[in-house]
Amino acid sequence: MSMDITVNINGKEITVKRGTTILEAARNVNIHIPTLCYHDDLCISGICRICLVEVDGERTLQAACSIPITRPVTIKTHTERVRKARRNVLELMLANHYGECYTCFRNQNCELQKLAKEYGVDALKFEHVTEPRYEQDKTSAAVVRDKNKCILCRRCIRTCQDFQGVGALDATHRGYDTQIQAFYDQPMADAVCINCGQCITRCPVGALREKDFSDSVWQAIDDPSKIVVIQTAPAPRAAIGEEFGLPPGTSVTKKLNTALKMIGFDYVFDTNFTADLTIMEEGTELLGRLKDLLVDRKEAVLPMVTSCSPGWIKFCEHFYPKLLPNLSTCKSPQQMFGAILKTYFAQKAGINPANMVVVSLMPCVAKKFETDRPEMTSSGFKDVDFALTTREVAQMIKEAGIQLTQLEDSPFDDPLGLGSGAGLIFGATGGVMEAAIRTAYEIVTGEEAPFENLRVTPVRGMEGIKEAEIFIPKALEEWSFLEGKTLRVAVAHGTANARKLMDIVTQGIAQWHFIEVMACPGGCLGGGGQPIPTSEEIRKLRAKAIYGEDEQLTLRKSHKNPQVLKLYEEFLGTPNSHKSHELLHTTYTPRGVF
């Protein structure tokens, strides 16, 4: 059987590999076929039936997304039959879709709305839902569901089950009663949901969204007695431009600082600062565990696994409660920041922490849940008051009438506005590992990590699981036990990939010493709070922006961050000191799944 087949689409001849879908073939020749249940990241479903096309020799229209080309066929994508059928299918979806577009957070970024426009829907043929039939599920601290808008494309299910390996949602019941539900129709707060928000970024309509705290933040800004501080994470800065029409991969860090100041935040700090702090704490913790094992012959829990990603943490608590001791005890950079702001910074700046409102700009939906964790109050207050997603902050900027793209640059505020390039790359999968290697290698050997221009390429890129081995040829005296040893590391992004690694760890056959896990695909830059749409292409561009920015910095190693060193000197003492443990480390809760 020949591998290449020539097909004719709308009169254009195109040669494709056997098994290419009609949709892919059409895209190759720039023929647009509308889709809804299809998503680049997900497996094929073929259920919305909007991508219907005419294939010669077939009585029925075929769903272009799900039909592999296995013979030389003639395909037509906009015959009368096709247009009529698509229009009817679209009308059926609209007839059952509640939502006045102008009250929907997906207004102007909704795939259904876009299709209605493309197909010139000017009146609803069948019905118009004027009253909501279901109450919105706002029980979760992070994810809000509105079944009234759901068109049952099941992208959320495939995201949750296949892509993330969680399975919080599934189709239940049958026929016209079919719904998307959690087990026993539990509210989202009780569901085995890790709050990653990946479902939100793949929902074509507004049936899923994050819990919106922008009004509370406005309120704090408007309150003259409050000092409102915002920290911004690296991933949103590489993506928020998309909300303002910039191409993916345009970093707007310094313009964003200006915008946030204009909105009324009193201080704008850089989460990279606590990313550097994380490296100091986590690196020390790792070296400590290695020392326990190799020198003191004590039992040490290895591999150690990163704990920056709150989606991953909840995943581990649900699915691998036995591996919780493997998690680093470090809080995430967001939470470290909150704790430092309400103690060290409050003292330094003479602010009563009770009047301080800490806001974070995060690419993440799970961060909202993290701020609410009862353990996250070591400053004596709620360490971080509100975690906002990239989308929420973009909304605030728009509401304030600020033209982000036209703004001048401004720097971060002192003293917590200084972050290294190592902290910056936390935003991409493999970034924490790379930052850790840059620091740990140098601390142990006294020499710079042996990678050209500090690019630790084996842990970069979009492969689901990455591994690397770092040989330590000679070590400084304090670390002599590591001399001649090889440090083995692994990186996973997306919890379905993390599952693969954890299964190996559970079996006790893992050779790794250190593992980085990020719950979201591509790491934070593909977070559930980032601009919609998402695809691997977009995630790659965001990653490129982050790595590019790193290379332009002179400060590219966490342990060289002078402000971090000053923090230790003035306040914390040494990494993993008693005070560090009090403020910067945490505990976990085994949850199980049943």
Partner 1 sequence: MVGHKIQILFSPAETGIALRLAIGKKPEDIIAQVKESKLRGRGGAGFPTGLKWELVQQAKGERKFVVCNADEGEPGTFKDRILLTDHPCKIFEGMAICGYAVGAQNGVVYLRAEYRYLREGLVNAIKKMKESNYLGKNIMGSGFNFDIEIHLGAGAYVCGEETALLESLEGKRGEARNKPPYPTECGYMGCPTVVNNVETFCYVPAIMTKGAQWFSEIGTMESTGSKLFSISGDVAKPGVYELAMGSTVDVVLQLVGAKDTKAVQVGGASGICVAEKDFNKPISFESLPPGGSIIVFNKSRDMLYVLKNFMEFFVEESCGQCTPCREGTYRLLQGVEMMEQGRCSIHYLHTLRDLAQTMLISSKCGLGQLAPNPFLSIIDNFKGEILARDRVARNSKKTPVVR
Partner 2 sequence: MKLESRNNQIAQEVIEIVEKYNFQREKLLQILEELNDSYGYLSEFVMKEVAKNLQLTTTEVYSVATFYSFLNTRPKGKYIIRLCKTISCVLAGKNAVANALRNELGIDFGETTSDGKFSLEFTNCIGMCNQGPAMLINNDVYYHLDPEKAVEIVEKYQ
Nearest approach, Cβ of 190 to partner 2 (angstroms)? Answer: 11
Q: Which of 23, 33, 53, 182 binds partner 2 (CB under 8 A)?
A: 182
Work out whether 297 is an interface residue with partner 1 (CB under 8 A).
no
Amino acid at 365: V
Instruction: Provide the Cα torsion 383, 386, 389, 391; round to 10°.
Output: -160
The residue from 342, 367, 540, 557 that is catalytic is: 367
Q: Which of 2, 30, 57, 59 binds partner 1 (CB under 8 A)?
A: 59
C-alpha span between 2 and 431 (Å, rounded): 43
Strand spans (E) along 355-498? 356-362, 386-389, 465-471, 486-493
Which partner in partner 1, partner 2, none is near 134 (CB below 5 to 8 A by kind)? none
Nearest approach, Cβ of 173 to partner 1 (angstroms)? Answer: 7
Work out whether 52 is an interface residue with partner 1 (CB under 8 A).
yes
Amino acid at 176: Y
Active-site residue flag, 370: yes
Task: Give whichever of 170 and 467 is closer to partner 2, judged by the CB atom.
Answer: 170
DSSP 3-state of 488: strand
Could you tell me if residue 563 is left (phi over 0), alpha (psi between -120 and 50 degrees) or otherwise beta?
A: alpha
DSSP letter at 188 equals T
The residue from 91, 242, 281, 285 that is catalytic is: 285
Residues 71-100 that bind partner 2 (CB under 8 A): none
Which partner in partner 1, partner 2, none is near 183 (CB below 5 to 8 A by kind)? partner 2
Which partner in partner 2, partner 1, none is near 124 (CB below 5 to 8 A by kind)? none
Q: Which of 173, 298, 398, 566 binds partner 2 (CB under 8 A)?
A: 173
H or E segment and range at residue 209: strand 208-210
**Strand partners for 387:** 360
Active-site residue flag, 54: no
Binding mask 138-177 for partner 1 (x = CB under 8 A): -------------xx-x----------------x-xxxxx
Decide: 233 and 361 in contact? Cβ < 8 Å: yes
Which partner in partner 2, partner 1, none is near 126 (CB below 5 to 8 A by kind)? partner 1
Q: Is the peptide bond before 415 cis (omega within 30 degrees of 0)?
A: yes
Decide: 369 and 142 in contact? Cβ < 8 Å: yes
Active-site residue flag, 367: yes
Nearest approach, Cβ of 296 to partner 2 (angstroms)? Answer: 38
Kindly list the distances between the CA atom of residue 448 and the CA atoms of 324, 418, 444, 484, in Å, as whole numbers in the listed order: 32, 21, 10, 17
Active-site residue flag, 537: no
Work out whether 124 is an interface residue with partner 1 (CB under 8 A).
no
Decide: 154 and 171 in contact? Cβ < 8 Å: yes
Which partner in partner 2, partner 1, none is near 277 (CB below 5 to 8 A by kind)? none
Work out whether 61 is an interface residue with partner 1 (CB under 8 A).
yes
Task: Give whichever of 59 and 174 is closer to partner 2, judged by the CB atom.
Answer: 174
Task: Give whichever of 81 and 474 is closer to partner 1, judged by the CB atom.
Answer: 81
What is the edge-to-edge ordering of all strands in the sheet holding 267-270? 267-270, 227-232, 356-362, 386-389
- Strand 486-493 and strand 465-471: the pairing is antiparallel
Binding mask 9-48 for partner 1 (x = CB under 8 A): -----------------------------------xxxxx
Closest-CA residue to 427 (of 279, 142, 236, 241): 236
Work out whether 178 is an interface residue with partner 1 (CB under 8 A).
yes
Decide: 297 and 502 in contact? Cβ < 8 Å: no
Work out whether 115 is an interface residue with partner 1 (CB under 8 A).
no
Active-site residue flag, 330: no
Which partner in partner 2, partner 1, none is near 48 (CB below 5 to 8 A by kind)? partner 1
Kindly list the distances between the CA atom of residue 525 and the CA atoms of 234, 352, 518, in Å, as whole numbers in the listed order: 8, 34, 10
Active-site residue flag, 282: yes
C-alpha span between 166 and 156 (Å, rounded): 11
Which residues are identified as catalytic? Answer: 282, 285, 308, 328, 367, 370, 375, 524
Binding site for partner 2 (CB under 8 A): 161, 166-174, 181-184, 191-192, 593-594
